[in-house]
């Protein structure tokens, strides 16, 4: 587990940031938001979902699951505390556009749940560690040139509940809220061809084209928007 859970207790404790903000900001503006603003927007978007158990879900994301302190990856994209929430918010923004562009007409609640929680499986599975890395050379006490090793802070994955990726997100979500078949299919299929069982994605996307929209949004956030963050 990461250190220091984010405090997400009651709706009223947060400054007024409406879910509409996430829909109005441009993608680069969203990607530049500070971590606390991302946390507030994600919480408010989920609170706006009209489904029993959502309050408990958000509470768990802020405490037991440690969602808001989790990076999105060890080093590939948004590898910083809070990176998973940022990634999820960007995926949400991207799939909103796809919903409009393709006229998918997906339920707003489904868009919020699937985009913001597709990677719930990652929550709390990263630990910060120090790893030795060779950086050039140095002269030791005997005047010899030797390798210069420095300790670099990095992330390591340690999943205590390794029951899949999208499937694990679904399992965790269903402890708090009921999911529709569409939502389950979108979350399970969001890895697309990166899933070991590619035929699962093909079948799911044939049945629910929104599965492809969530997968594409995941790719775009990871390789375009979050890559841009790192380049800045
Ligand atoms: Fe993702």
88 alpha carbon – ligand 1 mean position (Å): 6
- 30 vs 208, more confident: 208
Q: Which residues contact 179 (CB under 8 A, 6 or more apart)?
A: 113, 170, 173, 187
pLDDT of residue 33: 86
pLDDT of residue 25: 83
pLDDT of residue 31: 84
Whether 220 and 94 have beta carbons less than 8 Å apart is answered as: yes
10 alpha carbon – ligand 1 mean position (Å): 26
137 alpha carbon – ligand 1 mean position (Å): 39
Confidence band for 231, pLDDT divided at 50, 70 and 90: low
17 pLDDT higher than 60: no
Closest residue by Cα to residue 42 from 103, 105, 119 = 119
123 alpha carbon – ligand 1 mean position (Å): 12
168 alpha carbon – ligand 1 mean position (Å): 13
Over pLDDT 70: what percentage of the chain?
89
38 alpha carbon – ligand 1 mean position (Å): 16
pLDDT in tens, 150-159: 998 889 988 8
207 pLDDT higher than 50: yes
Confidence band for 15, pLDDT divided at 50, 70 and 90: very low
147 alpha carbon – ligand 1 mean position (Å): 38
Closest residue by Cα to residue 21 from 72, 93, 85 = 93
Closest residue by Cα to residue 37 from 50, 19, 49 = 19
pLDDT in tens, 112-128: 999 999 999 999 999 98
90 alpha carbon – ligand 1 mean position (Å): 9
136 alpha carbon – ligand 1 mean position (Å): 35
92 alpha carbon – ligand 1 mean position (Å): 10
Cβ-based burial of 163 (10 A; exposed 0-12, middle 13-18, buried ≥19): exposed
pLDDT of residue 39: 93
């Amino acid at each position: 587990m990461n250190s220091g859970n984010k405090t997400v207790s009651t709706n009223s404790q947060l400054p007024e940031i409406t879910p509409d903000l996430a829909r109005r900001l441009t993608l680069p503006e969203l990607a530049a938001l500070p971590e606390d603003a991302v946390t507030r927007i994600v919480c408010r978007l989920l609170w706006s979902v009209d489904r029993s158990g959502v309050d408990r879900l958000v509470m768990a994301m802020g405490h037991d699951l440690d969602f808001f302190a989790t990076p999105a990856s060890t080093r590939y994209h948004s590898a910083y505390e809070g990176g998973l929430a940022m990634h999820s918010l960007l995926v949400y923004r991207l799939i909103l556009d796809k919903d409009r562009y393709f006229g998918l007409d997906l339920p707003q609640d489904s868009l919020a749940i699937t985009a913001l929680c597709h990677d719930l499986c990652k929550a709390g599975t990263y630990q910060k560690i120090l790893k030795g890395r060779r950086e050039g050379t140095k002269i030791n006490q005997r005047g010899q040139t030797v390798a210069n090793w420095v300790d670099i802070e990095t992330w390591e994955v340690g999943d205590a509940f390794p029951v899949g990726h999208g499937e694990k997100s679904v399992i965790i979500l269903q402890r708090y809220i009921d999911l529709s078949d569409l939502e389950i299919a979108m979350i399970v299929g969001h890895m697309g061809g990166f899933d070991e069982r590619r035929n699962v994605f093909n079948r799911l996307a044939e049945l629910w084209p929104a599965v492809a929209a969530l997968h594409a949004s995941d790719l775009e956030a990871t390789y375009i928007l979050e890559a841009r963050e790192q380049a800045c």
